[in-house]
Amino acid sequence: MHISDFTAMLEAVAPHALAMEYDNVGLLIAPDHDEIKKVLVALDLTARVAEEAVTGGYDLVLTHHPIFWDPIKSISPNDPETAAAYKLIQGGVGHFAAHTNLDACSGGVNDVLADLLSLEDVRPLPPENLGRIGTLKAPIPFSELCRLCETVLHTKGRFVGDPSRTVGTVAVIGGAGGGDIEAVAEAGCDAFVTGEMKHSQALLAEHLGVACCVMGHYETEYPVLKPLISRLQNAKNDVQYDLTHTGCAPLYSL
């Protein structure tokens, strides 16, 4: 597949127009060749993932998080901000990022998260429409929602709210969604599942009466990767898409 065809395919899946203004998405590092045959898929472009891509003979790394956020003044293998980029450029491998556009698009991060929780009547969470709102099949104690989140996301969470209260309308935002707690409350949700939340945001959630499951940034976004691979593979089966073996959550519990 030509790199321009790959870019067009990703635009159809996660349109650039859905990305937030601050975001940096698209082809961030061009490969040194135009034909794409092997793509490595990961949440983050770390030095380990870059090494995996180079040694594995991949043409491109597709990630959720972009490698570049702020302007880069120099690229060095010893700088943690640019070490992965240095490896890719040295190996002729490209990097494509689909971030908040993949959060917001149909079948993206938050649709997958809502599906894992078996939410019904799923719709965008205003005003930014990155997150999703849905209803549980039947109202349940908040403690039961907590256990469900831990089961489907294969992790341990932290929680805000009375475990015995009944919840039915749930908002989901994968990753760092704590800043949207007021939007969640205004939308009439009684529970919120997200990846990260600051102390002050947890206090606000408690004050607003929104029960929260805080399940980890990586853990709430990682589930989109396999469905994304299947979607791309079905669209163009002349390209091999592989899920990284070296990418992993930087935070973990013992």
pLDDT tens digits in sequence order for the chain, 254 residues long:
999 999 999 999 999 999 999 999 999 999 999 999 999 999 999 999 999 999 999 999 999 999 998 888 999 999 999 999 999 999 999 999 999 999 999 999 999 999 999 999 999 999 999 999 999 999 999 999 999 999 999 999 999 999 999 999 999 999 999 999 999 999 999 999 999 999 999 999 999 999 999 999 999 999 999 999 999 999 877 999 999 999 999 998 88
The four Cα atoms 35, 37, 38, 41 give a dihedral, to 10 degrees, of 70
Position 236 scores a pLDDT of 76
Whole-model pTM: value is 0.96
- Please state, in angstroms and as integers, the Cα–Cα distance from residue 248 to each residue in 6, 45, 221, 243, 245, following that order: 25, 11, 12, 11, 8
List % helix, strand, coil for the chain (3-state, nearest 5).
35, 20, 40
CA torsion sign, 230 to 232 to 235 to 241? negative
Among 93, 87, 91, 102, residue whose Cα is nearest residue 38? 93
Position 252 scores a pLDDT of 87
Position 71 scores a pLDDT of 86
Position 246 scores a pLDDT of 97
The pair of structure tokens assigned to 218 is 């990586």
Residue 27 main-chain phi, psi, to 5 deg:
-80, 105
Residue type, 250: P
Among 97, 103, 118, 102, residue whose Cα is nearest residue 177? 103
